[in-house]
């Protein structure tokens, strides 16, 4: 009697719980003897990294104006094109698209710092369900506005005010996709974060090299994104226990969005 | 005694059966979806009657009416764009920054309109139709299916001293310290040092609000001002101060803002 | 009873009265101006370079000095205190002794012009307070004019061209601004102009009682009133609908010009008008004189929070495409009753037909070449009931339930006679094609909401009934 009742109540509670469980967007499995992708990203173009002029409007209090002018400086090296003498491109996001199964993504939090009127780091990776830690190291007002870049529009993720120096705000990463950061008070500031559910995202180093490991064998599309070049996508086949080589060369530039805000 | 026990078993059996079947019915996805789909169909008809002319067939804000211009008392011309529902970003919510609005938020805007903008009130439309059109509007952006809803809703409890001269004085200090004047200017006229370069998330020029020009679009009650500090106005340059200011300081700032609006002495 | 109490009281009051009399007597013997003159005389004696000068300085009389100006009907006693006004040695002295700036006294000698003709103030007064008329609530109608507006006095006798040549620019700049900012759109001057504001003839010489001074800060003079009224009209006159968006400098310049609009003129011998003022009569200048204050560039339509109404875009190509010159003429001449748009015909705001034609030609510059596609309203039979239903769904939220437009609504007033008497063909084309560049959407089939021509005919038929009484409505109304 009691058993039937208990059984019924438990089942009655479980059924709705099960129905709410959505099909997971990314399934974590054990990857043994997975494959890898490795390569170098170059460009065939001759590019020059511009110097961005910084214009601080004067405020009523000249001391405040002085502090802001000193902290931000008069110009900033943009840092769009960091290309080695052998045309290897740094700071390219290498993203494996449409991965449904694989190893677990790390739970590391991403720290982004407002420092000397720049976002540091310029390009970084964050994982869904970890946290963003946004810091302000400058003695001035910054606001950090994060937005995910949809096909042709930007959708706000967070817009946080950081008026104090050494202030830190922690927020959960709930949205996947390519996210850009801007500061409304300083229109030249920008940063890019790729927020991923899976761990198969990386950034090229100073030699344009990248490496992705422990992928389940199969055919993948890899996307190469950089703020100053038109993006490239390439198909690659990953075989168990082997590392596939995938090099790419950017052949077209594009104007980064933040230059339009100046 | 035996009779009684049998009866009890029977009753309990019926009870368990009823419970199970009720649970099964209520979690049956198909039925729910069918009910939801009905509302969306009604909502679509309502939308095409009242909303499409500004918000467009695709819900992207590019309707036949286009951009609206308003000029305020200082001569400044406001450029107003109908909201683009496909992005799924809204300014006047009761949820924290980055979150979707609640159904009540959307219903409030549809019913009352937004003063000093192009969005009229739709009190003359039946409540049922208004709720239906909200369900239809939610289909324009995949955000409502993809994202987990936000748990927290901003709770608003106004202390008695909001609007008092001491609170206004403290609020003035907060205004200075939080650098509100960088955009809003020292007298709240929207002419701060950063104000002329501001652009919203979609590249259109946007101006910080001139508090001396009249009522806020969301409403100028203390509670409405307080909520804005908490939620920020997503899509614009107005950030959330939830993590930068204690609740008490936020209410002092409300007092000072009311003074700039001319609603408190 | 002569007891001690009353005796002491008498004694004390006697002493107080005596002291008071002595004090008043002293004031009479030694008035403010005498103190200045004594100081001046001592200065002259001290700074005398040689004996002859010193002797002359000693002989300077201490007396009231006045300039009697019969023709100007003034008596100026300013030189009683302003002793160094003609003395070039006093250039660096402090007031009231410093000499007059510039070389104005060369052509405007004191004995012929005096001081108050240009500087205003109360010439007969012998104390600073009453002569200047500032700093206290004595309500003198003509206090001394602030230096930044002093140029306004020149226009009493001199024409604008001469002033410009001599470098006296403020009046001319102010006048240009006055004519380019559209002030006469609401204010009459010489009987021509709108009637939303007060006429400006002789405003520079009106008494203080003419101006509501309650909210004026600082000195309550007409100079402050005019300037502060430009800064924020609603602060000075709360119900004002004046649209004034001027910088500080512009406000000062226009104030200088406004102050030249005086009711009285100096006698003929004083006037030196050599040239007639330049009056621009081309269409663009007329537009700027009368229309620009509300319509601005005319390219976009705006909901105005001051006028609490939408201001239509009159230089909008889509509007000009549908509206022919006759319609424009009708609107301009008759105005739009129920709104701030004045009737400009010669019997109302005072514009001649020729002037109105010039404005219409100026507006029509932006009219596109092609004519709109014919609607053919005459071929339809409009149904008022159907039109009413359509109106309620499609038109109410901009034009209002009663079609009046107005506060908070984007649409214009459909009831006023000009719209009601307009050619229904024009109204139908407007509804069908919309007005690109304004919130008026296209409702027709081509690039519009998709209403059929019959629907539009029904709508227009209903709109035309809005100004009629309900009893006169019939179901089948054929225009």
Report pLDDT digits (tens) over B142-170.
888 887 667 667 778 889 998 899 999 99
Q: Is B178 on the interface with A (CB under 8 A)?
A: yes
Average pLDDT over residues C101-105: 88
CB contact under 8 A, B69 and C304: no
Q: Is B176 on the interface with A (CB under 8 A)?
A: no
Examine the domain organization and report whether C167 and C263 are in the same domain.
yes
Give which of C410, C266, A242, A156 is closest to B113, Cα–Cα. Answer: C410
Average pLDDT over residues A122-129: 94
Task: Supply the mean pLDDT for chain C.
Answer: 90
What pLDDT does residue A7 have?
A: 74
Mutate to test the interface with B, among A126, A135, A185, A255 (most CBs of B within 10 A): A185
Contact B254, B157 (CB under 8 A): no
CB contact under 8 A, A174 and B243: no
> Looking at the domain assignment, is residue C348 inside a domain?
yes
What pLDDT does residue B37 have?
A: 75
Nearest CA in chain B to A134: B243
Distance between CA atoms of residues A192 and A178, nearest Å: 7
Residue B46: band (very low, low, confident or very high) from pLDDT cuts 50, 70, 90:
very high
> Looking at the domain assignment, is residue C352 inside a domain?
yes
The string over C185-199, giving b where at least 16 C-beta atoms fall within 10 Å of a residue's C-beta and e elsewhere, is: bbbbbeebbbebbee
> Looking at the domain assignment, is residue A8 inside a domain?
no
Average pLDDT over residues C210-238: 92
Residue B264: band (very low, low, confident or very high) from pLDDT cuts 50, 70, 90:
confident
Distance between CA atoms of residues A137 and A162, nearest Å: 10
Nearest CA in chain C to B214: C305
Examine the domain organization and report whether C114 and C160 are in the same domain.
no
Q: Is B45 on the interface with C (CB under 8 A)?
A: no
Interhelix angle C353-363/C283-290, nearest 10 degrees: 100
> Looking at the domain assignment, is residue A95 inside a domain?
yes
Residue B35: band (very low, low, confident or very high) from pLDDT cuts 50, 70, 90:
low
Examine the domain organization and report whether C265 and C349 are in the same domain.
no
Subunits in contact with chain A (3 or more CB pairs closer than 8 Å): B
What pLDDT does residue C58 have?
A: 87
Total number of domains constituting chain C: 4
pTM: 0.83
Q: Structure tokens of C103?
A: 């070389």
Distance between CA atoms of residues C202 and C194, nearest Å: 17
Of A1, A60, A158, the CB nearest to B9: A1
Show me where the domains of chain B are located: 30-146, 165-261
Bond preceding residue A121 cis, omega within 30 of 0: yes
Distance between CA atoms of residues C325 and C360, nearest Å: 7
What pLDDT does residue B157 have?
A: 86
Measured torsion, CA atoms of residues B42, B43, B48, B51, in degrees rounded to the nearest 10:
150
What pLDDT does residue A164 have?
A: 87
CB contact under 8 A, B115 and C441: no
Q: Structure tokens of C75?
A: 């008596």
CB contact under 8 A, B235 and A171: no
Q: How would you classify residue C120: left for phi > 0, otherwise alpha for psi between -120 and 50, otherwise beta?
A: left
Where is average pLDDT lowest: A9-23, A190-204, A227-241?
A9-23
What pLDDT does residue C474 have?
A: 40
Of A12, A60, A160, the CB nearest to B240: A160
Half-sphere exposure of A76 (CA within 13 A, CB side): 24
Average pLDDT over residues C180-205: 93
Q: A36-65: per-residue pLDDT in tens?
A: 999 999 999 999 999 999 988 888 889 989
User: How, if at all, do strands A110-115 and A131-136 pair?
Assistant: parallel
CB contact under 8 A, C439 and B118: yes
Give which of B161, B174, B156 is closest to B225, Cα–Cα. Answer: B156
Average pLDDT over residues B23-47: 71
Mutate to test the interface with A, among B8, B244, B246, B250 (most CBs of A within 10 A): B244
Chain centre distance of CA A110 = 10
Name the residue with higher pLDDT: B2 or C261: C261
What pLDDT does residue A22 have?
A: 57
| Count of all residues that appear for chain C in the document | 479
Q: C395-432: per-residue pLDDT in tens?
A: 988 898 888 888 888 888 898 888 888 899 999 999 99
Q: Which of C311, C340, C366 is the last residue of a domain?
A: C366
Average pLDDT over residues A107-119: 94
* Yes or no: domain B165-261 corresponds to CATH 1.10.760.10: yes
Examine the domain organization and report whether C354 and C429 are in the same domain.
no
Identify the CATH class of B30-146. mainly alpha
Of B68, B71, B118, the CB nearest to C305: B71
Q: C355-382: per-residue pLDDT in tens?
A: 999 999 999 999 999 988 998 888 889 8
Distance between CA atoms of residues B159 and B246, nearest Å: 14
Q: Is B89 on the interface with A (CB under 8 A)?
A: yes
What is the span of the domain harbouring residue C436? 377-477
Give chain A as a DSSP string. Answer: -HHHHHHHHHHHHHHHHHHH-PPPSSEE---SS-EEEEEEEEESS-----EEE--PPP-SSHHHHHHHHHHH-SEEE--S--B-TT-BBSS-EEEEET--EESPPP---EEEEEETTEEESSEEEEETTSEEEEEE-SSS-EEEEEEEE-SSSEEEEEEEEE-STTEEEEEE----EEEEEE-SSSTT-EEEEEEESSS-EEE--TTSEEEEEEEPSEEEEEEEEETTEEEEEEEEEE-TT-EEE--EEE--B---GGGGG-
Is C150 a residue whose pLDDT tops 70?
yes
User: How, if at all, do strands A218-226 and A93-97 pair?
Assistant: antiparallel
Average pLDDT over residues B82-90: 92
Examine the domain organization and report whether C83 and C162 are in the same domain.
no
Average pLDDT over residues B182-211: 89
CB contact under 8 A, B244 and A187: no
What pLDDT does residue C53 have?
A: 85
> Looking at the domain assignment, is residue A144 inside a domain?
yes
Distance between CA atoms of residues B98 and B234, nearest Å: 7
What is the span of the domain harbouring residue A78? 30-261
Total number of domains constituting chain A: 1
Of B24, B29, B202, the CB nearest to A153: B202
Is B19 a residue whose pLDDT tops 80?
no
CB contact under 8 A, B71 and C301: no
Q: What CATH number does residue A201 fall under?
A: 2.60.40.420
Is B66 a residue whose pLDDT tops 80?
yes
Contacts of B211 (CB under 8 A, 6+ apart): B184, B188, B189, B190, B257, B260, B261
Is C12 a residue whose pLDDT tops 90?
yes
> Looking at the domain assignment, is residue C55 inside a domain?
yes
Using DSSP, state whether C212 is helix, strand or coil: coil
> Looking at the domain assignment, is residue C81 inside a domain?
yes
Average pLDDT over residues C49-77: 89
Nearest-Cα distance to chain C for B249, in Å, is 32
What pLDDT does residue C245 have?
A: 92
Is C473 a residue whose pLDDT tops 50?
no
Average pLDDT over residues C246-250: 94
CB atoms within 10 A of CB C261: 19
Chain C residues near residue B73 by CB distance under 8 angstroms: 234, 305-306
CB contact under 8 A, A158 and B84: no
Chain A residues near residue B143 by CB distance under 8 angstroms: 155
Using DSSP, state whether C76 is helix, strand or coil: strand
Scanning B31-70 for CB atoms below 8 A from A yields none
Residue A14: band (very low, low, confident or very high) from pLDDT cuts 50, 70, 90:
low
Interhelix angle C384-394/C453-465, nearest 10 degrees: 90
Residue C475: band (very low, low, confident or very high) from pLDDT cuts 50, 70, 90:
very low
Contact A103, A139 (CB under 8 A): no
Reported ipTM:
0.81
Nearest-Cα distance to chain A for B125, in Å, is 30
What pLDDT does residue A232 have?
A: 93
Angle CA A177–A178–A182, to nearest 5 = 130
Is C318 a residue whose pLDDT tops 50?
yes
Name the residue with higher pLDDT: A63 or B6: A63
Contacts of A166 (CB under 8 A, 6+ apart): A135, A136, A137
Nearest CA in chain B to C232: B74
What pLDDT does residue B24 have?
A: 67
What pLDDT does residue B11 have?
A: 79
Examine the domain organization and report whether C252 and C315 are in the same domain.
no
Q: Is B239 on the interface with A (CB under 8 A)?
A: yes
Q: Is C270 on the interface with B (CB under 8 A)?
A: no
Chain C residues near residue B68 by CB distance under 8 angstroms: 303, 410, 439
CB contact under 8 A, B213 and C441: no
Is C352 a residue whose pLDDT tops 90?
yes
Q: Is B63 on the interface with C (CB under 8 A)?
A: yes
What pLDDT does residue A152 have?
A: 78
Of B64, B70, B74, the CB nearest to C448: B64
Of A140, A160, A175, the CB nearest to B239: A160
Of C245, C408, C441, the CB nearest to B65: C441
Task: Supply the mean pLDDT for chain B.
Answer: 87
CB contact under 8 A, C439 and B65: yes
- Would you say the CATH fold of B165-261 matches that of B30-146? yes
Of B148, B202, B232, the CB nearest to A159: B232
Contact C135, C157 (CB under 8 A): no
> Looking at the domain assignment, is residue A2 inside a domain?
no
């Amino acid at each position: 009697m009691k058993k039937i009742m208990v059984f019924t109540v438990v089942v009655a509670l479980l059924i709705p719980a099960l129905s709410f469980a959505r099909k997971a967007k990314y399934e974590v499995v054990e990857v043994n003897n997975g494959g890898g992708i490795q390569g170098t990203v170059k460009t065939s173009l001759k590019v020059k990294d511009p110097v961005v002029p910084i214009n601080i409007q004067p405020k009523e209090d000249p001391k405040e104006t002085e502090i802001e002018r000193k902290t931000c400086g008069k110009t900033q090296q943009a840092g769009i094109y960091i290309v080695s003498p052998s045309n290897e491109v740094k700071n390219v996001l290498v993203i494996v698209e449409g991965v449904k199964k694989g190893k677990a993504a790390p739970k590391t939090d991403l720290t982004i710092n407002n420092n000397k009127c720049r976002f540091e780091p310029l390009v970084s990776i964050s994982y869904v369900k970890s946290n963003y830690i946004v810091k302000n190291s400058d003695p001035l007002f910054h606001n950090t506005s994060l937005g995910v870049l949809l096909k042709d529009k930007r959708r706000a993720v967070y817009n946080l005010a950081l008026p104090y120096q050494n202030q830190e705000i922690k927020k959960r990463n709930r949205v996947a996709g390519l996210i850009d950061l801007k500061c409304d008070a300083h229109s030249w500031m920008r940063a890019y974060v790729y927020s991923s559910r899976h761990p198969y995202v990386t950034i090229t180093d100073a030699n344009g090299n990248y490496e992705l490991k422990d992928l389940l064998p199969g055919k993948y599309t890899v996307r190469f994104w950089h703020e100053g070049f038109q993006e490239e996508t390439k198909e690659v086949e990953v075989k168990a226990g082997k590392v596939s080589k995938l090099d790419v060369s950017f052949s077209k530039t594009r104007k980064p969005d933040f230059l339009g805000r100046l | 005694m035996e009779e009684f026990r049998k009866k009890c078993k029977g009753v309990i059996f019926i009870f368990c059966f009823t419970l199970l079947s009720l649970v099964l019915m209520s979690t049956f996805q198909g039925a729910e979806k069918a009910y939801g789909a009905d509302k969306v169909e009604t909502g679509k008809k309502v939308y095409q009657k009242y909303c499409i002319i500004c918000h467009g067939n695709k819900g992207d804000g590019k309707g036949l009416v286009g951009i609206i211009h308003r000029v305020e008392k200082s001569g400044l011309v406001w450029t107003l764009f109908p909201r683009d529902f496909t992005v799924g970003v809204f300014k006047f919510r009761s949820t924290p920054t980055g979150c979707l609005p609640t159904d009540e938020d959307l219903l409030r805007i549809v019913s009352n309109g937004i003063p000093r903008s192009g969005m009229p009130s739709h009190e003359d439309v039946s409540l049922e139709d208004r709720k239906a059109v909200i369900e239809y509007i939610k289909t324009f952006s995949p955000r409502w299916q993809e994202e987990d809803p936000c748990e927290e809703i901003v709770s608003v409890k106004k202390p008695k001293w909001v609007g008092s001269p001491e609170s206004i004085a403290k609020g003035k200090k907060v205004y200075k310290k939080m650098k509100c004047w960088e955009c809003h200017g020292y007298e709240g006229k929207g002419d701060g040092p950063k104000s002329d370069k501001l652009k919203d998330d979609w590249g259109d020029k946007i101006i910080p609000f001139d508090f001396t020009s009249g009522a806020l679009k969301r409403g100028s009650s203390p509670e409405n001002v307080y909520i804005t500090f908490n939620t920020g106005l997503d899509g614009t340059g107005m950030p959330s101060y939830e993590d930068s200011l204690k609740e008490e300081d936020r209410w002092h700032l409300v007092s000072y803002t009311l003074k700039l609006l001319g609603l408190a002495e | 009873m002569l007891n001690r109490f009353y005796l002491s009281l008498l004694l004390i009051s006697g002493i107080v009265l005596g002291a008071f009399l002595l004090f008043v007597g002293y004031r009479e013997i030694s008035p403010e101006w005498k103190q200045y003159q004594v100081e001046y005389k001592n200065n002259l004696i001290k700074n005398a370079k040689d004996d002859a000068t010193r002797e002359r300085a000693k002989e300077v009389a201490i007396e009231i000095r006045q300039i009697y100006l019969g023709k100007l009907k003034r008596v100026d006693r300013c030189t009683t205190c302003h002793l160094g006004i003609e003395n070039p040695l006093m250039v660096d002295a402090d007031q009231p002794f410093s000499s007059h700036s510039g070389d104005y006294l060369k052509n405007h000698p004191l004995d012929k012009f005096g001081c108050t003709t240009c500087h205003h103030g109360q010439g007969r007064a012998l104390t600073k307070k009453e002569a200047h008329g500032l700093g206290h609530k004595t309500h003198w109608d003509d206090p001394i004019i602030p230096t930044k507006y002093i140029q306004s006095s020149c226009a009493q006798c001199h024409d604008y061209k001469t002033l410009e040549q001599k470098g006296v620019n403020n009046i001319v700049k102010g006048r240009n601004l006055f004519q380019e900012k559209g002030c006469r759109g609401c204010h009459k001057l010489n009987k021509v102009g709108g009637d939303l504001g007060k006429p400006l003839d002789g405003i520079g010489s009106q008494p203080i009682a003419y101006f509501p001074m309650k909210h004026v800060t600082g000195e309550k003079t007409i100079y402050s009133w005019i300037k502060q009224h430009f800064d924020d009209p609603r602060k000075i006159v709360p119900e004002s609908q004046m649209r004034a968006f001027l910088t500080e400098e512009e406000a000062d310049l226009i104030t200088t010009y406004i102050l030249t609009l005086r009711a009285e003129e100096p006698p003929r011998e004083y006037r030196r008008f050599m040239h007639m003022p330049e009056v621009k009569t081309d269409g663009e200048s007329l537009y700027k004189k009368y229309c620009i204050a509300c319509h601005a560039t005319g390219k976009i339509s705006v909901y105005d929070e001051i006028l609490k109404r939408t201001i239509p875009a009159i230089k909008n190509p889509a509007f000009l495409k549908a509206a022919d010159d006759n319609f424009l003429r009708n609107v301009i001449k008759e105005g739009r009753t129920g709104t701030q748009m004045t009737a400009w015909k010669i019997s109302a705001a005072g514009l001649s037909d020729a002037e109105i034609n010039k404005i219409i030609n100026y507006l029509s510059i932006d009219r596109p070449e092609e004519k709109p596609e014919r609607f053919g309203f005459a071929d339809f039979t409009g149904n008022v009931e159907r039109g009413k239903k359509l109106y309620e769904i499609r038109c109410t939220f901009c034009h209002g339930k009663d079609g009046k437009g107005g506060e908070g609504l984007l649409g214009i007033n459909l009831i006023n006679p000009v719209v009601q008497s307009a050619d229904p063909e024009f109204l139908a084309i407007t509804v069908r094609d919309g007005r690109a560049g304004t919130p008026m959407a296209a409702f027709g089939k081509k690039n519009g909401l998709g209403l059929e021509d019959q629907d539009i005919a029904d709508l227009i038929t209903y709109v035309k009934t809005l100004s009629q009484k309900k009893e006169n409505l019939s179901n089948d109304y054929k225009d």
